[in-house]
């Protein structure tokens, strides 16, 4: 649609014919300078002469009561673009007093300028009788430079004008009696049309951009204004649509937007677009959510162009953008913030999610990029800021990320929060230590005896992993297994432990072949989920010539949740081999009688947390009693871990749970100490 003032007045006058049917007038306001233009209908509503009607915002103020004028300004200021709004105001009527009117409007950006269009409508005025010929005389109808479509109440076309025929290529005969969906482009979804009809029914009109299709298949964009037409007794008699072809304008606007808001090399949003997006997110009042911004710097950016030339260097930049895009989840917003920087902005669930993303970015961006057979390496670093931890407003999140970037070393990343950065550094150090421990044998095992109180003998042990530090101190599993899980090292650690356990079993049997002792090894979900899990166990047993009946595997409940049938199959294979299966930490997670009855489990372990609270919580007592009863009902063995007092022991004896593990009998000990206990204390 044109921005020429004379043309706009012509169009507004044409719309006036329609608006008279819905008792309203049209106003357009230029927000940049406050200039106002309007349809002549406004005179009928206010009773003012043409020279008294408002040509600017200040003159409009004189027509409204003060509080309503403020309400209008606040609405215009706060409303989002292309979002319709509806307010009720008191408007001057016939020079004296005020009448109530509805203002129904929308704010739009056209050629980088902001405009507000609104209908001034009397909610109480009666409607006249509809006739297409009365509405648009033939000369006016056919000479209009807008495509006009009139339908009946069933939305069947009863008339179109010459401009519509010229614009679409359809003749009057081809569309007569058809629904306007006949020339639909199919580019809009169901929700689009549902909103259109909802607006027509509740407001009496709809305005917006709609994409339709010419007879030759060419797609065109129309600025469409659709109005209800009502007759006597407010009865719906039809609809009228006045359409302007804005295809070229939208294409030019899109091209301009692309130049202003998108990077020409990567086609990613640029800094301007990112800032606009952050402001938009901020305006939606999502400030209780957690957001993060990662600023990625490419080192020696200009040297890249000097060394390889613009074509190759730009190809490298595109490849970097592609690598990041493939890595990102949908909720993150990637932009090329500057020549040598990319930014990632988005909502996140926890710090681990951001840390994993940063780790992955460093990894993939350190890999070479192949350009015409030549490997090109780029060096990057990343600065990370968190909202609201690091800043009070989303607008400040970039500044904090830049500060974090200034602290970050090449090939690494840094959080703005020193607390988080220190935590990440500690995890990194521990990660390196875990890799070295696997390589250099810095892990060692301790064995906590499992005792049959009924027979007063040691019947087995649980193998527990420990990590030896350089200074000789020892890390317990709680301090490093979470990091091992994050870094996907658990399956390697479990396999390491399993090999040690089976060798220990061989050593115990060699020195004490008459005593049957079973050692249990803990297995994580990561290890259990490996396709070769059962084969690994079989091979280690075979290589060490160890009878499987001396090996026990402890599993936790989370292993069965996602793929129950696969877990069932693996457990069956282990059982057929002769390996015993214990369910660890029962009652703390997804405890289900259904899976428990279907899995071939030998033993249930009562979790230490229940034993700790045994005499502080009646609930714990009930749970322990129930677990013991349940195990016996299913013909399973039951063992209580974390037994540390004679009172706990007496309670368990009362409930006929005779297998015990805990400090009351022995702490975890080395293999040599365990063998001494085994040989020297056959009776406890």
In tens, the pLDDT along 606-644 reads: 988 889 888 888 888 888 999 999 888 889 999 999 999
**pLDDT, position 596:** 76
Asked if the model's pLDDT at residue 224 lies above 80, the reply is yes
Asked if the model's pLDDT at residue 215 lies above 90, the reply is yes
Q: Do 236 and 311 reside in the same domain of the chain?
A: no
In this prediction, residues 13-27 reach a mean pLDDT of: 57
CATH number of the domain bearing residue 382: 3.30.70.270
58-62, 181-185, 271-275: the lowest-pLDDT one: 58-62
Q: Is residue 434 part of a domain?
A: no
Q: Do 217 and 324 reside in the same domain of the chain?
A: no
Q: Do 343 and 400 reside in the same domain of the chain?
A: yes
Asked if the model's pLDDT at residue 166 lies above 80, the reply is yes
pLDDT in tens, 435-470: 888 888 889 999 999 999 888 889 999 999 999 887
Q: Is residue 228 part of a domain?
A: yes
**pLDDT, position 170:** 93
231-245, 338-352, 392-406, 485-499: the lowest-pLDDT one: 231-245
Number of domains in the chain: 4
CA dihedral 253, 258, 259, 264 (to 10 degrees): -160
Q: Do 495 and 402 reside in the same domain of the chain?
A: no
Cβ burial 399-419 (10 Å sphere, 16+ → b, else e): ebbbebbeebeeeebbbbbee
**pLDDT, position 137:** 52
Strand order in the sheet with 113-121: 36-38, 24-30, 113-121, 98-110, 85-92
Share of the chain above pLDDT 90, in %: 35
In this prediction, residues 400-422 reach a mean pLDDT of: 84
**DSSP characters for 524-539?**
-HHHHTSTTHHHHHHH
**pLDDT, position 586:** 74
**pLDDT, position 130:** 44
Confidence of residue 132 (pLDDT cuts 50, 70, 90): very low
Taken in order 425, 431, 437, 439, the sign of the CA dihedral is negative
Report the first-to-last Cα separation within the chain, whole angstroms.
95
Highest-confidence segment of 9-23, 259-273, 446-460, 531-545 = 531-545
Q: Do 623 and 480 reside in the same domain of the chain?
A: yes
Asked if the model's pLDDT at residue 74 lies above 80, the reply is yes
Q: Which residues are within 8 A (CB) of 106 and not within 5 positions of it... i.e. 6 or more apart?
A: 82, 83, 84, 85, 116, 117, 118, 207
CATH number of the domain bearing residue 86: 3.30.450.20
Tell me how far apart the alpha carbons of residues 66 and 61 are, in angstroms, rounded to a whole number.
7
**pLDDT, position 133:** 47
Q: Is residue 390 part of a domain?
A: yes
- Please, where are the H alpha helices in 270-392? 271-283, 301-327, 351-366
**pLDDT, position 373:** 82
**pLDDT, position 661:** 94
**pLDDT, position 131:** 46
Q: Do 93 and 160 reside in the same domain of the chain?
A: no
Q: Do 283 and 147 reside in the same domain of the chain?
A: no
**pLDDT, position 322:** 94
Q: Is residue 430 part of a domain?
A: no
Q: Do 634 and 502 reside in the same domain of the chain?
A: yes
234-238, 351-355, 473-477, 530-534: the lowest-pLDDT one: 234-238
Highest-confidence segment of 97-101, 340-344, 384-388 = 340-344
Q: Return the higher-pLDDT residue of 53 and 611.
A: 611
CATH number of the domain bearing residue 458: 3.20.20.450
Asked if the model's pLDDT at residue 422 lies above 60, the reply is yes
Asked if the model's pLDDT at residue 287 lies above 60, the reply is no
Tell me how far apart the alpha carbons of residues 462 and 586 are, in angstroms, rounded to a whole number.
16
Q: Is residue 84 part of a domain?
A: yes
Cβ burial 437-461 (10 Å sphere, 16+ → b, else e): bbeeebbebbbbbbbebeeebbbbb
Decide which of 252, 281, 309 is a domain's last residue: 252
Instruction: Check: CB of residue 103 under 8 Å from CB of residue 86.
Output: yes
pLDDT in tens, 465-479: 999 887 778 888 888
Q: Do 200 and 294 reside in the same domain of the chain?
A: no
Nearest-5° Cα angle at 196, 195 to 199: 85
**pLDDT, position 386:** 92
Q: Is residue 568 part of a domain?
A: yes
Q: Is residue 261 part of a domain?
A: no
Q: Do 75 and 150 reside in the same domain of the chain?
A: no
Tell me how far apart the alpha carbons of residues 636 and 601 are, in angstroms, rounded to a whole number.
7
Q: Do 216 and 296 reside in the same domain of the chain?
A: no
Asked if the model's pLDDT at residue 589 lies above 60, the reply is no
Decide which of 390, 416, 442 is a domain's last residue: 416
**pLDDT, position 95:** 56
119-133, 169-183, 570-584, 660-674: the lowest-pLDDT one: 119-133
Asked if the model's pLDDT at residue 80 lies above 90, the reply is no
Q: What's the whole-model pTM score?
A: 0.51
In this prediction, residues 7-16 reach a mean pLDDT of: 50
141-150, 315-324, 326-335, 439-448: the lowest-pLDDT one: 141-150
Q: Is residue 105 part of a domain?
A: yes
Instruction: Check: CB of residue 157 under 8 Å from CB of residue 175.
Output: yes
Q: Return the higher-pLDDT residue of 504 and 82.
A: 504
**pLDDT, position 575:** 94
**pLDDT, position 129:** 39
Q: Do 649 and 582 reside in the same domain of the chain?
A: yes
Helix H or strand E encompassing 414? strand 413-415
Decide which of 195, 217, 252 is a domain's last residue: 252
Asked if the model's pLDDT at residue 482 lies above 50, the reply is yes
pLDDT in tens, 386-406: 998 888 888 889 989 998 898
Confidence of residue 127 (pLDDT cuts 50, 70, 90): very low
Q: What is the pLDDT of the chain when averaged over all its residues?
A: 84
Structural domain span for residue 244: 132-252
CA dihedral 140, 143, 147, 151 (to 10 degrees): 40
């Amino acid at each position: 649609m044109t921005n020429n003032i004379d043309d706009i007045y012509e169009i507004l006058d044409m719309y006036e014919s329609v608006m008279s049917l819905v008792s309203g007038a049209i106003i357009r306001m230029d927000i940049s300078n406050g200039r106002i233009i309007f349809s002549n209908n406004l005179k009928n509503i206010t009773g003012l002469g043409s020279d008294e009607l408002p040509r600017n915002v200040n003159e409009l103020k004189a027509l409204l009561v003060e509080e309503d004028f403020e309400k209008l300004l606040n609405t215009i200021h706060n409303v989002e673009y292309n979002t319709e709004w509806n307010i009720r105001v008191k408007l001057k009527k016939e020079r004296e007093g005020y009448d109530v009117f509805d203002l129904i409007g929308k704010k739009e950006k056209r050629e980088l300028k902001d405009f507000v269009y609104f209908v001034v409508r009397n909610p109480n005025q009666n409607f006249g009788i509809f006739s297409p010929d009365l509405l648009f005389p033939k000369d006016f109808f056919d000479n209009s430079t807008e495509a006009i479509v009139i339908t009946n109440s069933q939305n069947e076309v009863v008339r179109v004008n010459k401009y519509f025929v010229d614009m679409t290529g359809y003749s009057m005969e081809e569309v007569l009696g058809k629904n306007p969906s006949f020339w639909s482009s199919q580019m809009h979804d169901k929700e689009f049309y549902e909103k259109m009809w909802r607006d027509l029914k509740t407001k009496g009109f709809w305005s917006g951009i709609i994409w339709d299709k010419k007879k030759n298949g060419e797609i065109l964009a129309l600025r469409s204004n659709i109005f209800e037409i009502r007759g006597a007794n407010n009865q719906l008699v039809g609809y009228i649509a006045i359409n302007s072809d804005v295809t070229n304008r939208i294409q030019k606007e899109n091209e301009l937007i692309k130049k202003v808001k998108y990077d020409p090399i990567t086609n990613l949003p640029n800094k301007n677009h990112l800032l606009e997006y952050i402001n938009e997110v901020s305006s939606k009042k999502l400030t209780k959510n957690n957001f993060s911004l990662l600023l990625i710097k490419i080192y020696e950016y200009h040297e890249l162009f000097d060394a390889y030339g613009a074509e190759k260097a730009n190809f490298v930049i595109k490849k970097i953008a592609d690598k990041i895009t493939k890595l990102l989840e949908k909720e993150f917003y990637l932009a090329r913030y500057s020549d040598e920087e990319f930014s990632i902005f988005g909502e996140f669930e926890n710090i681990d999610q951001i840390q994993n993303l940063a780790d992955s970015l460093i990894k993939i961006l350190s890999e070479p990029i192949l350009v015409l057979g030549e490997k090109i390496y780029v060096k990057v670093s990343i600065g990370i800021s968190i909202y609201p931890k690091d800043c009070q407003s989303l607008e400040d999140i970039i500044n904090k990320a830049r500060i974090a970037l200034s602290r970050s070393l090449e090939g690494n990343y840094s959080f703005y929060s020193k607390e988080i950065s220190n935590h990440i550094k500690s995890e990194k150090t521990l990660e390196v230590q875990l890799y070295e421990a696997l390589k250099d044998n810095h892990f060692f095992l301790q064995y906590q005896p499992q005792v049959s109180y009924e027979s007063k003998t040691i019947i087995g042990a649980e193998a527990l992993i420990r990590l030896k530090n350089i200074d000789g101190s020892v890390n317990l599993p709680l301090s490093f297994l979470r990091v091992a899980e994050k870094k996907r090292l658990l399956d390697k650690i479990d396999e390491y432990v399993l090999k040690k356990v089976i060798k220990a079993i061989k050593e115990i049997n060699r020195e004490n072949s008459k005593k049957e002792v079973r050692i249990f090894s803990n297995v994580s979900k990561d290890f259990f989920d490996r396709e070769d899990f059962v084969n690994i166990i079989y091979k280690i047993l075979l290589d060490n010539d160890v009878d499987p009946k001396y090996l026990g595997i402890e599993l936790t409940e989370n292993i069965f949740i996602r793929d129950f049938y696969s877990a069932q199959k693996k457990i069956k294979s282990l059982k057929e081999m002769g390996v015993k299966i214990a369910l660890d930490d029962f009652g703390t997670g997804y405890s289900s009688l259904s899976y428990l009855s279907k899995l071939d489990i030998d033993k249930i372990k009562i979790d230490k947390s229940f034993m700790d609270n045994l005499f502080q919580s009646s609930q714990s007592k009930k749970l322990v009693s129930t677990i013991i009863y349940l195990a016996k009902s299913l013909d399973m063995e039951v063992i209580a871990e974390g037994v540390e007092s004679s009172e706990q022991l007496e309670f368990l004896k009362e409930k006929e749970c005779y297998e015990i593990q805990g400090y009351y009998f022995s702490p975890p000990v080395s293999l040599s100490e365990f063998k001494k206990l085994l040989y020297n204390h056959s009776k406890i």
